[in-house]
């Protein structure tokens, strides 16, 4: 099952968030194949005309791979523990899902019309997080889920 982080905005190469995201992406991609997961890819979209959340929603929707399960990261979504998130990924994989797209909106979040199309809403809590940091957080949780599914020592209770 291929995983895609589809996000508004571009992280410059010299930013710490870029380095952190790529570190978790690499770690995941190194262990995921035996679990029938991966690779983890990143798709960045940019509203160059600053038309707002609705324009961002169009860009995000067009970037989602055809037939992908859409998971919107949103503070109104469901909060999960890391083991619960691992079970969720495994359930989707075992159910035949080929692609999962994790959507991260811009500064104003994801437009309601796109959020309503999501198959799942995922929250990292009621606090609002910088969208560039959320990209790192979802990559880390995806990596953590893979280590949980593989029985690795990364996740400790």
Domain ranges (residues) in the chain: 2-150
- Say what the pLDDT of residue 97 is: 98
CATH number among 3.40.50.2300, 3.40.920.10, 3.40.640.10, 3.40.1280.10, domain 2-150: 3.40.1280.10
**pLDDT band, residue 18 (cuts 50/70/90):** very high
- Say what the pLDDT of residue 47 is: 87
DSSP letters spanning 78-138: EE--HHHHHHHHHHHHHTT--EEEEEE-BTTB--HHHHTT-SEEEES-SS---HHHHHHHH
Percent of the chain residues topping a pLDDT of 90: 87
Per residue in 77-106, pLDDT (tens digit) is: 999 999 999 999 999 999 999 999 999 999
Rounded average pLDDT over 57-74:
97
Tell me the pTM: 0.95
| φ, ψ dihedrals at 39, nearest 5° | -80, 170
Is the pLDDT at 29 greater than 70? The verdict is yes
């Amino acid at each position: 099952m291929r995983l895609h982080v589809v996000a508004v905005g571009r992280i410059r190469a010299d930013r710490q968030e870029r380095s952190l995201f790529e570190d978790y992406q690499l770690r995941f991609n190194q262990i995921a194949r035996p679990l029938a997961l991966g690779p983890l890819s990143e798709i960045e979209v940019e509203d160059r005309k600053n038309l707002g959340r609705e324009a961002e929603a169009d860009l995000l929707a067009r970037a989602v791979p055809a037939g992908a399960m859409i998971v919107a990261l949103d503070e109104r979504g469901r909060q999960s523990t890391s083991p619960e998130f691992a079970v969720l990924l495994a359930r989707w994989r075992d159910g035949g899902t080929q692609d999962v797209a994790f959507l991260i909106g811009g500064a104003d979040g994801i437009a309601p019309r796109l959020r309503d199309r999501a198959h799942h809403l995922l929250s990292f809590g009621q606090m609002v997080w910088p969208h560039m940091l959320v990209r790192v957080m979802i990559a880390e949780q995806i990596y953590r889920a893979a280590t949980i599914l593989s029985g690795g020592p990364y996740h400790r209770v």
